A and B are shown apart, each in its own frame.
Chain A
Amino acid sequence: MQFITENLQILFTGLGLGSIYALVALGFVLIIRATNVVNFAQGDFAMLGGYAMVLFFTGLGWPYWIAFIGALLAMAVFGVLFNYGVYYPLRHRSFLPVLISTLGASIFLQNTVLYVAGPQPKPLDKLLNFDGITLGGVFLDSQYIVILVATVALVFFTFLFFEKTLLGKKLQATSQDKDMARLLGIPVALMIAITFIYSAVLGGIAGVLVGPILFVSIGMGSIIALKAFAATIIGGFGDVKGAIVGGLLLGVIESLAAQHISVPYKDAYAFLALFLFLLFRPQGIFGEKVSEKA
């Protein structure tokens, strides 16, 4: 019994952390699909979201919800700036210049925030005013509950947006064949800008959600992004379902391994899982070995 509750407890924590990876991985995948480029600053979107929340809530003393909405709006604006500053000028180049551009943006963002906010990690209050609930011997921390609920809601919203609206279909069309999309009159540059806005907001939400658990810090984005990136490969590169399942799976693997094998190697298990997948199932969980069809 002890064994079961202990593992349920770890499973719960793992799913919570995994949700954060999943949200950032989802942002990765949306940008990969729209632009064929891995956005190395994706993790820094989470970092910026966290700092925006700290600024509005702790710094300016806004009510939690107002500060949260403010942080999301700030991330939306940032998504526009990122699109036009980092991606747009290089859109006709191959993937490499764009990739380097996002890498540069990542370094720039981290150092700018370091300069402005200083090196000390910032604490952030939880959304709910209680510690959590105990259910059958398993302690459910309120912030982890918030993370899980928010992730389910966001995944559901993303699904509705991309699968049920014409705008979502236009975004998909843009990611599948840009020239054809343009011939149909779809404003491709705007579609890509929307993708960056959406990814920035998703990343920002992840940062605000995880802030109360990990503290808001300059480096928080890098470690989350590395694991989210591993999650996209494990799930199937460029696959939306895969990003979510891969993220959750990675969170659970990491937490179980930390508990049962060794805590100090916590961050290594994600990459061990990545190695194993690359060796035995390089196309990932949902990926298919497809040949180009004429």
Chain B
Amino acid sequence: MPLLELRNVASYYGNVQALKGVSLRVEQGELVTLLGANGAGKSTTLKTISGLVVPAQGEVLFEGKPIQKLGPEAIARLGISHVPEGRRIFPGLTVRENILLGASNRKGVPRRQLEEEADEKFTVFPEIKPFENALGWTLSGGQQQMLAVARGLMAKPKLLLLDEPSLGLAPLIVQNLFGTIRTIRAAGTTILLVEQNANMALSVADRGYVLETGSLTVEGTPKELLGNEEVRAAYLGGHHA
């Protein structure tokens, strides 16, 4: 049984159909990437999984159970952590407070333990440790992204949804971030990664899907996707990776 499975999911934004029958699966322990151009429906796919968008049709199965009718709060409690596009750091809370709130989906964990876990996150993301008590909005884009991922991990997710973590970051910081994604994955977290930076995403992924205007067109291992002429032309800028 896959950890996550989408069966023929269709989602709308108002009258616009953003997803047209998407079916995909993520196995336990996998790092799967979802590639595609702007507006292809990548973010909508993640929002449909995490409950921010309710699908008009189809099923979202998590550990075999349908979750498409649950709200985002309930889905977070099942162990799906969504780090959305644009990081969405709480601007008026400190870095440490942002991290602590990441564990809001876990019931009855004492504050002291949460503080210890937050300290652990600072060892994974040493870049943000000096800003522990600074307000969220004062961080740079790269630091905010680190913080967003750290906050997402506080949920102890079974499945981590990462939406465009490299967006707007300098190449060196992107490298650093993907190093961290590898570490998180090696520690056993299943990840569904949405990226426009296809080269970077395929360098860490086990499998990938390509999404075009709301439909999945190609699926395969990084090697297969990198060998696919159409995919290369469309998403890899013609580079030979």
> At the interface, yes or no: B239 with Cβ under 8 Å from chain A?
no
Query: Please, could you name 9 A-B residue pairs with CB atoms under 8 Å apart, sorted by A?
Result: A166-B100, A170-B101, A180-B88, A180-B90, A182-B72, A184-B101, A184-B102, A185-B104, A188-B73
Q: Which residue of B lies closest to A186 (CB)?
A: B104
B179 within 8 A of partner (CB) = no
B151 interfacial contact with A, CB 8 Å: yes
Chain B 78-94 near chain A by CB (<8 Å), digits 1 or 0 = 00011010101011110
Which of A108-116, A171-179, A199-207, A264-272 participates in binding chain B? A171-179
Q: Is A183's CB within 8 Å of the partner chain B? A: yes
Q: Which 7 A-B pairs have the closest CB atoms?
A: A185-B105, A185-B76, A182-B72, A180-B88, A185-B104, A184-B104, A186-B104
Q: Residues of B contacting A185 with CB < 8 Å?
A: 73, 76-77, 104-106, 155
Interface: A293 (CB within 8 A):
yes
Tell me whether A183 and B76 are in contact (CB under 8 A): yes
**Which residue of the partner chain, among B86, B97, B101, contacts A294 with CB atoms under 8 Å?**
B86
Cα distance, A177 to B90, chains bound together (Å): 7
- Size category of the A interface is 10 to 19
Instruction: State whether B91 touches A183 (Cβ < 8 A).
Output: no
Which A residues lie within 8 Å of B88 (CB)? Answer: 177, 179-180, 183
Q: Verify if A187 is at the interface (C-beta below 8 Å from B).
A: yes
In contact, B91 and A182 (Cβ under 8 angstroms): no
A188-B73, A293-B137 known; 17 new pairs, CB 8 Å cut-off, are: A166-B100, A166-B114, A169-B97, A169-B101, A172-B93, A173-B90, A176-B91, A177-B88, A179-B88, A180-B84, A181-B104, A183-B52, A184-B102, A184-B155, A185-B106, A185-B155, A186-B73
Residues of A contacting B71 in the complex (Cβ-Cβ under 8 angstroms): 182
**In the bound complex, how far is the Cα of B9 from the Cα of A127, in angstroms?**
64
Q: What is the 8 Å Cβ interface bit string for chain A, positions 100-129, against chain B (1 contact, 0 not)?
A: 000000000000000000000000000000
With a cutoff of 8 Å between Cβ atoms, the chain B residues found around residue A180 in the complex are 84, 88, 90
State whether A187 touches B100 (Cβ < 8 A).
no
Q: How far is the CA of A102 from the CA of B105 in the complex (A)?
A: 32
* CB of B240 within 8 Å of the partner chain: no
Are A182 and B111 in touch, CB under 8 angstroms? Answer: no
Contacts of A182 in B (CB 8 A): 51-52, 71-73, 76
> Closest residue to B109 on the A side, CB-wise?
A166
Q: A184-B151, A185-B104 are in contact. Are A172 and B90 (CB under 8 A)?
A: yes
B102: chain A residues within 8 A (beta carbon): 184
CA distance A180 to B155 in the complex (A): 13
Residues of B within 8 A of A176 (CB): 90-93
B50 located at the interface, meaning its Cβ lies under 8 Å from any Cβ of chain A in the complex: yes
Residues of A within 8 A of B77 (CB): 185
Residue of B51, B81, B90 with highest tally of chain A CB at under 10 A: B90
Write the residues of chain A forming the contact surface with B, with a CB cutoff of 8 angstroms. 166, 169-170, 172-173, 176-177, 179-188, 293-294
- Number of residues on chain B facing chain A (CB within 8 A): 29
Complex Cα–Cα for A188 and B52 (A): 13
Chain A residue nearest to B92 in the complex (CB): A176
- CB B85 to nearest CB in A, in angstroms, measures 11
Q: How far is the CA of A184 from the CA of B151 in the complex (A)?
A: 9
A293 vs B91: C-alpha distance when bound (angstroms): 9
Distance (whole angstroms) from the CB of B103 to the closest CB of chain A: 8
> B90 and A179: CB pair below 8 A?
no
- Docked Cα-Cα span, A166 to B104, in Å, equals 9
Q: Are A183 and B84 in contact (CB under 8 A)?
A: yes
Q: How many angstroms from the CA of A184 to the CA of B50 in the assembled complex?
A: 10
Which partner residue on chain A sits nearest B72 by CB separation?
Answer: A182
User: Which B residues lie within 8 Å of A294 (CB)?
Assistant: 86
**CA–CA, A182 and B80, complex, Å:** 12
B86 / chain A contacts, CB cutoff of 8 Å: 294
Task: Let me know if B91 and A170 touch, CB within 8 A.
Answer: no
A179 to chain B, nearest CB (A): 6
User: CB < 8 Å: which of B52, B93, B137 contacts A179?
Assistant: B52
Q: Which residues on the B side are within 8 Å of A177 (C-beta)? A: 88, 90
Please determine whether A183 and B93 come into contact, CB atoms closer than 8 angstroms: no
In the assembled complex, how far is the CB of residue A171 from the closest CB belonging to chain B, in whole angstroms? 11
Would you give the 0/1 interface string for B45-58, flagging 1 where the beta carbon is closer than 8 Å to chain A? Answer: 00000111000000
Taking CB as reference atom, which chain A residue is nearest B79? A185
| Min distance, Cβ A119 to any Cβ of chain B, angstroms | 45
- Among residues of B, the one whose C-beta sits closest to the C-beta of A182 is B72
Residues of A close to B106: CB separation below 8 A: 185
CB closest chain-A residue, reference B102: A184
Bound-state Cα–Cα, A177 to B52, Å: 13
